[in-house]
Chain A
Amino acid sequence: MISPHLPALQIVLPLLSAPVCVLLRRSILTYAVTVAICWLTFAIAVLLLQQVLASGPISYRLGGWAPPWGIEYRVDTVNAYVLLIVSAIGAIVITAARPTVEREVGEDVQYLFYTCALLCLAGMLGVTITGDAFNLFVFLEISSLSSYVLVSLRRDRRALTAAFHYLIFGTIGATFYLIGVGLLYQATGTLNIADLAVRVAGVTDSQSVRAAFAFMVVGIAIKAAVFPVHIWLPNAYAYAPSIVSALLAATATKVAIYVLLRVFLTIFGPVFAFSTMPLGEMLVALAVVAMFVGSAVAIFQEDVKRMLAYSSVAQIGYMILGIGLATSLGLTGGILHLFNHAVIKGGLFLVMACVFYRIGSVQLVDFAGLGRRMPWTMAAFVVGGLSLIGVPLTTGFVSKWYLILGALDKGWWWLAVLILLSSLLAVIYVWRVVEVAYFRAPPEAATRLEAPVSLLVPTWVLIAANIYFGIDTRVSVGVAKRAAEALMGVGA
């Protein structure tokens, strides 16, 4: 009886448990509810992916109204994959939340933390699952508004300015997207994404469709922190509560990249996006700049969390590069990196949560001797760092391998060289941390203080996933390939 309603429940469960958390108010109760709901949504996402892989796309009519008039939830290979990533990371990260939230968030507002985390998750899942362009905007704003709150909840006044800038940028981005949707509606008279795809193909000469395309590119690029409009990201990630950094870094930008894929490849279609409009060249150029600037700036950061944030800018560059290559091989690399980066950064930011929980700081100088003081935590950092660099047998290698294959396939060998060179920059900033942690003496009177098990286990789950998906690539590569082919209109 339940199984046909899974697409709705995927969103409804976290959305409706948020007000329940407000009513419960007790921090420990809301934590329990949130964790339970997160794992339930993860289970639903797994079931949905199985259904989609077995029997093709699912369409769910909200309120029983038929698309294109009613709102439709549409699950195909691409978004079932993204749903799985978001809900899995959400569940693992939220499970680790309790100790650090108690330390970093004011006691009176802890229930609001969990409420906002649930809303943020519901919003991101909603963006992913919906088949309606306007509904997508609404979910985008639900997730964004709750993430502004989440960022501002840390007891550090710099979190406030970071949240404010995030709010300004996020709102401008969402409004640009809204303008684009409005212009498309004017030109086609529909908001359903599948219907838009059919109708836009008939009016690609219209100026307003091109304007809509431009508005949507800029709007979503802001949300995804694509290179020149990434300025909100480093501060927001650096000053947010540790758990929020892990959650947002691993999911929020991924969802925005998914929207980018959905809008350009499904609504406008690969032909319009890459041949009529010069999107591919533009994205490749921006991606290359992002890869180098992001990594180069990361090298000079004294705050390790900020360093990871800048490295995120570079990693988003790799994903954009995959899209910009405009071949299904390149796209496979991009989509694969979406998953891999979620696992890598989720794990690394959880390491930061462990360090901050024990040391009370994530400044590089305070990492001195941590290799001996927190052996498990720092080992997790090393493995995650190797994966970030793209060393073989880690996930980071797999997606970079596909990106390089995609570049070579197009005959762009210089691009393959650039990808390798930018990975070397990652070696430098990861090494800086490792060097301080393992080869500098700890301060006097420092004792061994490993992070609590409740933090360490989720961290290692994500880090172990780095190795597992680096060795056994069947699942992640297989699904990414099918998703990429579906988006490019090849095969199924």
Chain B
Amino acid sequence: MEWAGLYNYWIVIFLMMAGLYVVIASGNLIKKMVGLNIFQASVFLLYITMGKVQGGTAPIIEEGIRVYSNPLPHVLILTAIVVGVATTALGLAIIVRINEAFGSIEEDDLEKPEEAS
């Protein structure tokens, strides 16, 4: 039953593959963005999983506590989350403008005028 103890990694892998699949397979730009977010979230989980130390508590110095979880991956992933938010905001903003310029956010519709030009 070793694999069950690594359930968090299975979740990470599942989310990663699901997210990547949505990005590739979906023709709708918003859905692509959602897929990208799921993909990124899986990496956040991977980092947070890494920071866990068995039996460790929150990394605040207290008397009588010796084992702390590793705070570094959390700090790293806070930065990555901010990057993710910025990417999402920018992506959605571009989608809004695409919708205004093309009247559609379906990839199939967007490619037609490009080929014509």
Q: Which residues of A contact B (CB under 8 A)?
A: 134, 137-138, 141, 145, 148-149, 152, 157-158, 160-161, 163-164, 167-168, 171-172, 174-175, 178-179, 182, 185-186
Contacts and interface: CB of A to CB of B under 8 A. Distances in A.
B50 A186 contact: yes
11 contacts: A137-B80, A141-B83, A141-B87, A148-B94, A149-B90, A161-B98, A168-B23, A168-B91, A178-B43, A179-B43, A185-B73
B114 A161 contact: yes
Contacts, number: 69
Contacts of B47: 182
A137 B50 CA distance: 18
B99 to A, nearest CB: 10
B29 A164 contact: yes
A161 B102 CA distance: 10
Interface in B60-112: 73, 76, 79-80, 83, 86-87, 90-91, 94-95, 97-98, 101-102, 110
Contacts of B15: none
Contacts of B40: 171, 175
B50 A182 contact: yes
Contacts of B98: 157, 160-161, 164
B102 to A, nearest CB: 6
A178 B80 contact: yes
B46 A172 contact: no
A459 to B, nearest CB: 27
Contacts of A160: 94, 97-98, 101
A148 B89 CA distance: 12
Given A157-B102, A168-B32, A185-B73, A175 B39 contact: yes
Nearest to A138: B79
A138 B76 CA distance: 10
Given A148-B94, A164-B29, A168-B32, 8 more contacts: A137-B80, A157-B98, A161-B102, A168-B23, A168-B91, A172-B36, A175-B43, A186-B50
Nearest to B33: A168
